[in-house]
Amino acid sequence: MATLEFTKMHGCGNDYIYIVALRARPADPSALSVKLSDRHFGVGGDGLILLAPSSKADIRMEMYNADGSRGAMCGNGIRCLARLAFERGLVRANPMVVETDAGLKTVELRLERRRVVGATVDMGEPILEGRYIPVDAVGRIIDYPLDVAGQHELITAVSMGNPHCVVFVADDGIFKLKDRDFAELGRKFEHHPFFPRRVNTEFILALSPHRLRMRVWERGSGETWACGTGACAALVAAVLTNHSERTATVELRGGELEIEWRADGADANHVFMTGNAVKVFRGEIELGAGEMVPVS
């Protein structure tokens, strides 16, 4: 038997199980993510994130959704990873550069009295070309008509390293929808043939030019209380459809994120996200022989 230490963390309620995998790593992280993410028989979370060595950056984020599928990028997850790496002394740089499957991301930790209270992430430039999001269409997908389960929807598609489908709603009905009914709706979007790699779906109510309310269904995890890349995609979509200015607060079930899509300067066209990074608890679990392997 092997003992594995982990840390449970969340950003706006988007919770993950973190494992430092610099010397040893799970032999099958996908299976371990399914096992640990279960909220009845495991630790409970939206997935598993490994802190892994990188030859290109200060550290690498390796992310797995609750269903075991690989995730390219997680805005809430990367803030928590950066805090954990900094507080454990694994990375001393601030800002630090994190390697992800969606490229290199820069994270600047916000410190108060030497304590990490949050972080700002340069999420990079949004991808708006349909072929690269990807969707089954070319060009920009803005207020694009899509039939979903017999309903006519207008969607705006954005990739922030993972694909997002943003739907603007006229009232707060989507936020009153029961969890079971919301899950049924979310799955219809996630598995729609228009999205060849499935999709995250954000339902957005524009409260003002600087405030958006969001409910999200994440591919591979289901409804989560927050999605950082989704909040960024929502702001970009809101600007493109004249629902918002380039800086806005996004309200999520688990808290608020500050999103800015910069128009000029050295970081023009980059999306910046600021939010919390909260440690919930640390623990350890027992794994069977062969479930952990040395890092080569």
Which residues are part of the catalytic machinery?
74, 227
Which residues partner with 60 through β-bridges? 52, 99
Contact (Cβ atoms closer than 8 angstroms) between residue 194 and residue 137: yes
Contact (Cβ atoms closer than 8 angstroms) between residue 7 and residue 84: yes
296 contact partners, CB below 8 Å, separation of at least 6 = none
Angle at 47 between CA 250 and CA 272, to 5 degrees: 30
CA-CA distances (angstroms) from residue 208 to 204, 212, 229, 242? 12, 7, 21, 11
245 contact partners, CB below 8 Å, separation of at least 6 = 209, 210, 239
3-state helix, strand, coil in the chain (%, to 5): 20, 45, 35
